[in-house]
Amino acid sequence: MTLPVLKAADFASTQEVRWCPGCGDYSILAQMKKVLPELGVPREKIVFISGIGCSSRFPYYMNTYGMHSIHGRAPTFATGLKSTRPDLMVWVITGDGDALSIGGNHFIHMLRRNLDINVVLFNNRIYGLTKGQYSPTSSEGQITKSTPMGAIDHPLSPLSVALGAEATFVARSIDAYVTHLGETLRRAAEHKGTSLVEVYQNCNVFNDGAMAYAQEKSQRADNVIELEHGKPLIFGKDRDKGIRLVGSHLEVVSLADTAIDDLLIHDERAANPSIQMMLARMRYPEMPEPIGVLRAVAGVPTYDDQINHQVELAKAKHGIGDLQALVSGGDTWVVK
């Protein structure tokens, strides 16, 4: 039996999409609908699990199984589901507040366990749904409803946190850069283990243009560097700049006076994430910000495989459990 060929539209649920007009979320939704049919996984085998936030409305719009859970906890539901149903393709949809503020702990633990799930973190550097408070990724000094004199927390980078938590797949893309986004989602889906994709997402109501330097086509080439495995790090509208590793830090060089061979070659498969960590720490405006796959390490056992493997091992070793034998075992006596 061949599977019916699905189109993007087949992945649309009947629910009206209720994001603000112009919100970056639309583009991510569109790319997801576009990529999923290419993966050949039947819709009923796919589950989207989200927390709470504008971004977390996502599952309602997908004609798959879905759960719009509670704030910050999506990874926990996904963990229970994937551990018991490894046959399903599980996506976690989360926001910068959902994943890194209230949900930071689950986020780390999901990554270190390396469940075979995919996580898309919509980073708009603001709390959208609650109308504009700063988030853990908001810039220092950012004026928001809750920080009229400027935010004083030092921001977290989702990618750094993920690398610190031993994530096996870490990537970044941009809502408006649709081809790149689609490709990055596809890569995430294909990775075995927890895949994290941070997506720069414009909240045009509460934080409009915060990442315009990366989102707007005119600025992107100079402010963003696209990583490709095995390729030197080159960027710029005229592809005339590059990144070089000097001692223990990275610097921008002009290709006018540096040979391509001297540039850093991107290695997404490096077991040691030190260089990937340096990349994650490149921040605009000092440095171009990396997009694409920073890290994709294969072969690390996944939690779902392992938990189920232990069950199989135990069955093989002790035989399939016999309830009557269990309750009847040990020291017993008979009353007549």
Partner 1 sequence: MTKILSESGNGKNIHTVSGITVRLCGDSGDGMQLLGTQLTNTSALAGNDVATFPDFPAEIRAPRGTRAGVSGFQVQFASEEIFTPGDLLDALVVMNPAAMVTNLGDLRKGGILIANEDGFNDKEFKLAKVDSNPLEADVIEQSYRLFKVPMTKLTRDAVSELGLSNKESERCKNFFAMGLVYWLFGRSLEPTLRFIDDKFGKKLPDVARANAAALQAGWSYGETTEAFGLSYQVEAAPLSPGTYRNIMGNQALAWGLVAASSLSGKELFYSTYPITPASDVLHELTRYKNFGVRTFQAEDEIAACGAAIGAAFGGGMGVTASSGPGIALKGEAMGLGVMLELPMIVINVQRGGPSTGLPTKTEQSDLLQAMFGRNGEAPLPILAPQSPGDCFAIAIEAWRIAVECMTPVMILSDGYIANGSEPWKIPDMTQHPRINVVHPDGADPEEPFMPYARDENLARPWAIPGTPGLMHRVGGLEKEDRTGNISYDPANHQHMVDTRARKIDEIADRIPPQEVLGHDSGDILIVSWGGTYGACHTAVRRCQKAGISVSHAHLRYLNPLPSNLGDLLSAFKTVVVPELNTGQLRMLLRAKYLVDCAGFNKVQGKPFSVHELIDEIKAQAEALQNEAVHHRAG
Q: Which is nearer to its own copies, 15 or 105 (by Cβ)? A: 105
Name the minimum Å distance from CB 23 to ligand SF4: 3
Least Å distance, CB 23 to Mg ion, is: 11
Angle at 97 between CA 155 and CA 128, to 5 degrees: 110
SS (H, E, C) 30-96: HHHHHHHHHHCCCHHHEEEEECCCCHHHHHHHECCEEEECCCCCHHHHHHHHHHHCCCCEEEEEEEH
- Within 13 Å, how many C-alpha atoms sit on residue 116's CB side? 22
Task: Give which of its own copies, ligand SF4, partner 1, none residue 124 binds (C-beta under 5 to 8 Å, depending on kind).
Answer: ligand SF4
Residue 284 lies near partner 1 (rule: CB under 8 A): no
Of 117-136, which residues contact ligand TPP (CB under 6 A)?
A: 122, 124, 126-130, 135
Instruction: Name which position in 58, 98, 115, 297 contacts ligand TPP (CB under 6 A).
Output: 98
Q: How does DSSP assign 146-173, residue by residue?
A: TBTT---SPPPPHHHHHHHTT-SEEEEE
Q: Exposed (0-12), middle (13-18) or buried (19+): which is 302, by Cβ within 10 Å?
A: buried
Residue 68 binds partner 1, judged by CB under 8 A = yes
Query: 126: burial class by Cβ within 10 Å (0-12, 13-18, 19+)?
Result: buried
CB closer to ligand TPP, 56 vs 168 = 56
Find which of ligand TPP, ligand SF4, Mg ion, none residue 19 binds, CB within 5 to 8 Å per kind: ligand SF4
214 near its own copies, rule: CB under 8 A: no
Instruction: Return d(Cα 214, Cα 294) in angstroms, integer.
Output: 17
Span 33-62, contacts to ligand TPP by CB under 6 A = 52-55
Among 30, 281, 284, 287, binds its own copies (CB under 8 A): 281
Which residue lies nearer to partner 1 by CB, 143 or 271?
Answer: 143
Q: Which is nearer to partner 1, 256 or 323 (CB)?
A: 323
Q: Does 95 bind ligand TPP (CB under 6 A)?
A: yes
Number of residues that bind partner 1 (CB under 8 A): 90
Query: Smallest gap, in angstroms, from Cβ of residue 241 to its own copies?
Result: 20
Q: Is 196 exposed, middle or buried (0-12, 13-18, 19+ CB in 10 A)?
A: buried
- The residues binding ligand SF4 (CB under 6 A) are 19-20, 23, 25, 54, 124, 128, 203-206
- Under the binding rule (CB under 6 A), the answer on residue 175 touching ligand TPP is no
| Residue in the block written with tokens 């080159």 | 234
List 291's β-bridge partners, or say none. 226
Decide if residue 164 touches its own copies (CB under 8 A): yes
Least separation in angstroms between CB 320 and ligand TPP: 32
| Shortest distance in whole angstroms from residue 278 CB to its own copies | 5
Question: Could you tell me whether strands 241-246 and 234-235 are parallel, antiparallel, or unpaired per DSSP bridges?
Answer: antiparallel
Distance CA 295, CA 80 (A): 25
Instruction: Say whether residue 152 binds its own copies (CB under 8 A).
Output: yes
The interface partner of residue 98, options being Mg ion, partner 1, ligand TPP, none and the CB cut-off 5 to 8 Å by kind, is ligand TPP
Nearest to 167 by CA among 107, 209, 214, 123: 107
- Residues 181-210: x where in contact with ligand TPP by CB under 6 A, - otherwise, as a string: ------------------------------
Q: Which is nearer to ligand SF4, 53 or 290 (CB)?
A: 53
Length of the chain: 336
